Amino acid sequence: MTFDVVFLGTGAAVPVPSRGTTSQFLDIHGHTFLIDAGEGVQLALRNNKRRFQKLKGIFISHMHGDHVLGLPGLLSTMSLLGRQEAIDIWGPPELDAWLRHTWGSIQAHMSFEVKVHEWSPHEVQTLHEAGHYRLRSIPVKHRIPCCGLRVEEHSLPWKLSGQKAREARLPFHVRQALKRGEAIGFEGRALKPELWCTPPRKARSYVYSADTRPCESLRIAAQGATLLYHDATFNNADADRAKSTHHSTTTEAARLARQAEVETLMLGHVSLRYKDLDALREEALQEHPNVVLAKDGLLWRL
């Protein structure tokens, strides 16, 4: 089962050749999504050999240009290439009117339906659920309404040994309980799932903080994540700037990752002003043992 994220653009507000504005390509169980659409996202997708005509949906975290300016162009190209299938877009309240106004002024006609859904800036919401995974929006703390995203697999069933179950003549409801990982009484005995089943592979989860100050809602939503991509726009020395611009520092990102017990922290949205990115990673390593730097073009398999 695929669960890949390709980091198309990992820089902050101003793009440079090595670090574009924010966008990520997600492939979960063969379904593909785009997370944010910074300027240049079409070329980033092409350069990374990712197909955009099959995208099921697009998540937009907030209305700052480095997260959204690539969207009208991308959708227009999809239309020029003859897309027919409707697309779901989840984003802030202003998004729908802005898109329609932009297309109106350049007289673009879309060949497919663009369904824009507003996420709530106040509560965690399930945006999309299919088969064995779901996408949930997480309100975070930025200068304007902003949401992060949690992508997670449902917990997987335990694998019951069919032969053992048949030999012991376990009835259906007992088998089902064991597959859910629950202990259950049967004929005066307590059956433990670990003696009857193989435990499942751990359900994986990816959390995207978007642009934010460290906040409680994100800490809760990031709990136990396999990978957390966190805003780390500034280093420790520039903590005041992080506060005044509603972003986070390396240390703040890593502290939240530690509190939320995430497996791996990825530092992203790093400001152009820093040339020595390893020094940023060193700061974060003081708080969390597993820190990687986001990089344009990086493919991460969860």
For Zn ion, the binding residues (CB under 5 A) are 64, 211
66 is catalytic: yes
Cα 61-38-229 angle, rounded to 5 deg: 55
> Which residue's CB is nearer to Zn ion, number 64 or number 213?
64
Residues in the chain: 302
Neighbouring C-alpha atoms within 13 Å toward the C-beta of 257: 33
What is the Cα–Cα distance from 270 to 285, expressed in whole angstroms? 16
| Residue 175 φ/ψ, nearest 5 degrees | -60, -40
Tokens of 77: 């190209």
Secondary structure (H, E, C), 117-142: EECCCCCCEEEEEECCEEEEEEECEC
Q: Which is nearer to Zn ion, 24 or 205 (CB)?
A: 24
Rounded to a whole number of angstroms, the minimum distance from the CB of residue 64 to Zn ion is 4
In the complex, least distance from residue 142 CB atom to Zn ion, rounded to whole angstroms? 6
* Catalytic residue selected from 4, 36, 66, 240: 66
- C-beta of 42 vs 248, nearer to Zn ion: 248
Residue among 7 and 133 whose Cβ is closer to Zn ion: 7
Tokens representing residue 216 in the block:
């409680």
Q: Which is nearer to Zn ion, 31 or 243 (CB)?
A: 243
Yes or no: say if 73 and 96 are a contact pair by the CB < 8 Å rule. no
Nearer to Zn ion (CB atom), residue 211 or residue 287: 211
d(CA 73, CA 166): 59
Instruction: Give me the least distance between CB of 66 and Zn ion, in Å please.
Output: 7
Question: C-beta of 147: minimal distance to Zn ion in Å?
Answer: 12
In one letter, which amino acid is 230? H
Instruction: Give per-residue burial for 216-225: e unless 16+ CB within 10 Å, then b.
Output: ebbeebbeeb
DSSP secondary structure, 23-59, as one string: EEEEEETTEEEEEEE-TTHHHHHHHTT--STT--EEE
DSSP label at residue 213: B
Residue 62 CB, shortest distance to Zn ion, in Å, is 6
Shortest Å, Cβ 69 to Zn ion: 12
Show which residues are catalytic.
66
